[in-house]
Chains A and B, each alone.
Chain A
Amino acid sequence: MIVAGVDVGNATTEVAIARLSPGREPEFLSVTRGPTTGAKGSAAAADGVLDLIARASRRLGEEPARILLADLHPVETGLRELAADEERDLGGVAIARPVSATPSGLGAAAGRLVDLDDLAGEPAGEPVIPIVPPLDFDEASARLNDARARGWRITAIVVANDDGVLIGNRVDRTLPIIDEVADAADLPRGAWAAIEVAAPGGAVEQLADPLRLAVLLALDPARARGARNAARGLVGHRAAIAVRGEASSGDSHRDAPPLATLRDGSQIPVDHAVAPPALGAVRAVEGVDADLIDAFWAPLPAPDDDARLALALHARRAVGLAVLAERGDRVLEAALAERAGCEVVVVGAETAAAVAGASTTPGAGHAPIVIDMGGGTVDLHVGLGGEARAVAAAGAGHLVDRICGAILGVDHLRAEQAKRLPSVHVETPFILRHEDGGRTFLERPAPARCVAHLCLAERRDGSLDPLEAALPPELWARLRRAAKRDVIAANLRRAAEAVGGLPAGELAVLVGGCAEDQEVVDEVSLALADLDLAIARGDILGRHGPRAAVAVGLVLLHAEAA
């Protein structure tokens, strides 16, 4: 009889097809994989399963008479940025934002916003900041010089075009001038404003300091502390503008994080500053409509050697959350039985199947410790001395994707690539700087869109995929590794605690998609270093690497039971 062991993961579906004959070992005919269609355990996931089985069946000329499944529990992962949902009260500052790639001048100055045309009249008796509309730089410079000669006190300039340096060179190189202000026409004329330009490579200091900002904008002392949100938004930028607005308290409406309810009835916030509890301790999370087996969360990692970036990441109040839910229905099983026209059997737990599959790794024997790191969970199985313990911890590869995506500002598909591909900085069309600081040279020039950008480097063909995040590859690599450590290694430690610890000196076999990632293997090895374990990557059936352990294991368990 032909059977198909099917592992529907959160990211990937794997199918192992084998021939079962009485009294003989299963003969594995094919192992294939494809993306999971729909949520794990849903009827939509049947599409991907049936497609993989159909393709394998065509190649083999035989169809399976039985589909073997594990008992499935879906995992949902998401990322929420509380700061993105907040209403920020800028505390008497109407506008506060960074501007300009190439500003001119140096320092901070304040004045009243006026149109360039206003300078044709009599000088105002106070400092002004003219707004230069899209206009030839020579003409704009001539009009500004004429106004200064007639007594206008110009303290700074706002330029709509990318002409800040050109105008600065023709008017006054010391004046702070910001340019590329696309919405210059919308700035409120007559409002009091402050502009600051830092030296190249530097960042604004006065506008990023709430007290100095308040003084520049002539806010009274009582309102100075209210300017903190405005000042905070300008930290780390070379040039910035702030415009005084109506009086307000500066109180932010801070969204409360969702609450996790523990099994003892107590509640804790799912927050970037609160560590997730022990495995299995959470039974519900606000906003998640399911009874939970486990919940886990992790914040965006912060670099310890870059305070500016750490502050910016912290201010987002972002947290990646994974929840492992109970599942009472059997919709996938029913959908497969109806559409495949064959028997569908739930063989057992995923962890037991993973152990059986992992044990086909050459040299492993019966693997005593199996760590299955997939898209949704880190599953740990410990079987020693006739006693077996198994747990599944919510949060694995998908949660790493979410965190990587949030750092880079990309969707989860590109984040998944960013998680596993090396990155480079394209220094010139011919020179790449790698994550270890080394450089290589290209035979043909890199595309213009990649130059001076962080890019993902495809291993197969060396093609480059530029990212918008202004991170050097050395720093991005550290953040990426930290995400893997904070999710997968941290979750493995939770799992190890839940099974009462791991025996030192034993063999641990790593399987699942994440086990293909050497960085994950390194982080897991580091997390378990004290135990002196022999940590090895699985090689299912001696030819499939760490993938398909569950699919192959289901076949083996079924054959054993038969």
Chain B
Amino acid sequence: MSPPSVVLAADDAALIRLVRAAFEEEAVPLAVVGAGTARAAAVRSPLGIGLAAGPTGLELALATGPDEPWLVDRDPRRLGRIAARLAARRPLGELP
């Protein structure tokens, strides 16, 4: 059984630490897999929410709907918080 987690596809340790911190703060499970696209990470996520580094920043994609990222942010901690709150269905707070 897969835990209900958001999936982060990344190899960058600094980025992973910041995103993990955001998820820990929000008490939302995060699974980390090797680098890939945010869309592919979202498809792997039981919650349908994926994160991955893109050309202009960290990308947040949804498993359904358009292929393009739903949000892009240069601040990984902030986008991590947004993804965690999205999974927890809480107001997202400050947006990029």
Contact with B along A120-150 (1 / 0, CB 8 A): 0000000000000000010000000000000
**Which residues of B sit under 8 angstroms from A429, Cβ to Cβ?**
62, 65, 70, 86
**A162-B25, A445-B70 known; 19 other A-B pairs, CB under 8 Å?**
A102-B25, A102-B27, A165-B27, A166-B25, A428-B86, A429-B86, A430-B62, A445-B65, A445-B66, A448-B71, A448-B95, A449-B92, A451-B86, A451-B89, A452-B85, A452-B86, A452-B90, A452-B91, A452-B92
14 contacts between A and B (CB under 8 A): A169-B24, A429-B65, A430-B62, A430-B64, A444-B65, A445-B62, A445-B65, A445-B66, A445-B70, A451-B86, A451-B89, A451-B91, A451-B92, A452-B90
A163 contacts the other chain (Cβ, under 8 Å)?
yes
Determine whether A73 belongs to the interface, using a CB cutoff of 8 Å to chain B. Answer: no
B86: which A residues are within 8 A, CB to CB? 428-429, 451-452
- List A contacts of B26 (CB < 8 A): 102, 165
A22 to chain B, nearest CB (A): 66
Q: Which residues of B, 49-78, contact A by the 8 Å Cβ criterion?
A: 62, 64-66, 70-71
Q: Are B95 and A137 in contact (CB under 8 A)?
A: no
Q: Name B77-95 residues within 8 Å CB distance of A.
A: 81-82, 85-86, 89-93, 95
Residue of A with least CB distance to B25: A165
Whether A448 contacts B70 by the Cβ 8 Å rule is yes
- How many angstroms from the CA of A427 to the CA of B25 in the assembled complex? 21
Q: Which residues of A contact B24 (CB under 8 A)?
A: 165-166, 169
Q: Chain A contacts of B25 at CB under 8 A?
A: 102, 162-166
CB of B92 within 8 A of CB of A448, answer yes
Q: How large is the interface on B (under 10, 10 to 19, 20 to 34, 35 or more residues)?
A: 20 to 34
Contact of B21 with A by CB under 8 A: yes
Q: Which of A420-434 contact B (CB under 8 A)?
A: 427-430
Given the complex of chains A and B, what is the CA–CA distance between A428 and B86 in angstroms?
A: 7
CA distance A101 to B92 in the complex (A): 11
- Which size bracket describes the interface of A in this complex? 20 to 34
Whether A398 sits at the interface, judged by CB under 8 Å, is no
Q: Rank and list the top 6 A-B pairs by shortest CB-CB distance, nearest first.
A: A452-B91, A165-B25, A445-B65, A166-B25, A448-B95, A452-B90
A453→B91 CA distance, assembly (Å): 6
- Determine whether the beta carbon of B81 is less than 8 Å from that of A162: yes
Residues of B with C-beta under 8 A to A470: 91
A163, A427, A429 — which one has the most chain B CB atoms within 10 A of its CB? A429
Q: Which residues of A contact B70 (CB under 8 A)?
A: 429, 445, 448
Q: How far does the alpha carbon of A101 sit from the alpha carbon of B62 in the complex, in Å? A: 25
CA distance A429 to B71 in the complex (A): 12
Report the minimum CB–CB distance from A139 to chain B (whole Å): 13
User: Are A444 and B66 neighbours in the complex by a CB distance under 8 Å?
Assistant: yes
Q: Complex Cα distance A452/B25, Å?
A: 18
Residues from chain B with a CB closer than 8 A to the CB of A166 are: 21, 24-25
Contact with B along A158-181 (1 / 0, CB 8 A): 000011111001000000000000
Report how far A365 CA is from B91 CA in the complex, Å: 54
A430 to B89, CA, bound (A): 12
Compute how far the CA of A470 lies from the CA of B91 in the bound complex, rounded to whole angstroms: 10
Residues 15 to 33 of chain B near chain A (Cβ within 8 Å): 21, 24-27
Instruction: Give B72 Cβ to nearest chain A Cβ, in Å.
Output: 11
Bound state CA distance, A164 and B24, in angstroms? 10
A451 CA to B62 CA, complexed, in Å: 13
| Bound Cα distance from A506 to B26, whole angstroms | 61
Contacts of A164 in B (CB 8 A): 25
Contact with B along A447-464 (1 / 0, CB 8 A): 011011100000000000
Closest Cβ–Cβ distance, residue A137 to chain B (whole Å) = 7
Contact status B62-A452, CB under 8 Å: no
| A240-B50 Cα distance, complex, nearest whole Å | 34
Please report the C-alpha to C-alpha distance between residue A431 and residue B28 in the assembled complex, in whole angstroms: 20
CB proximity of B64 to chain A, nearest CB, Å: 6
Residue of A nearest to B21 (CB): A166
Distance from A115 Cβ to chain B, minimum over Cβ atoms (Å): 23
Per the 8 Å Cβ criterion, residues 434-452 of A in contact with B are 443-445, 448-449, 451-452
From A163, A164, A427, A451, residue with most partner B Cβ within 10 Å: A451
Nearest Cβ distance between residue A168 and chain B, in whole angstroms? 10
Chain B residue, CB-CB nearest to A170: B24
Chain B hits for A163, CB < 8 A: 21, 25
- With a cutoff of 8 Å between Cβ atoms, the chain A residues found around residue B91 in the complex are 451-453, 470
**Chain B nearest Cβ from A178, distance in angstroms:** 13
Residues of the B chain whose Cβ atoms lie less than 8 Å from the Cβ of A452: 85-86, 89-92
Q: A162 to chain B: which residues have CB within 8 Å?
A: 25, 81
Chain B hits for A444, CB < 8 A: 65-66
Q: Which residues in B have their C-beta under 8 angstroms from that of A165? A: 24-27
How far is it, in angstroms, between the C-alpha of A166 and the C-alpha of B86 when the chains are bound? 19
With both chains docked as a complex, state the minimum distance between the C-beta of B15 and any C-beta of chain A, in angstroms: 15
Contact between B66 and A137, CB atoms less than 8 A apart: no
B48 nearest CB across to chain A (Å): 9
Q: What 0/1 readout, one digit per residue, does chain A (296-312) give for beta carbons within 8 Å of chain B?
A: 00000000000000000
B95:A449 contact, CB within 8 angstroms: yes
Min CB distance A324 to B, Å, is 41
CA distance A358 to B85 in the complex (A): 53
Give Cα A429–Cα B62 distance, bound, in whole angstroms: 9
CB distance from B94 to the nearest CB of A (A): 10
Q: How far is the CB of B50 from chain A (nearest CB, A)?
A: 13
Nearest-neighbour CB distance to chain A for B66, whole angstroms, equals 7
B69–chain A nearest beta-carbon distance, Å: 11
Determine the distance from Cα of A24 to Cα of B84 in the docked complex, in whole angstroms. 72
Contact B64 A448 (CB under 8 A): no
Candidates A101, A430, A448, A449; contact of B65 at CB < 8 Å: A430
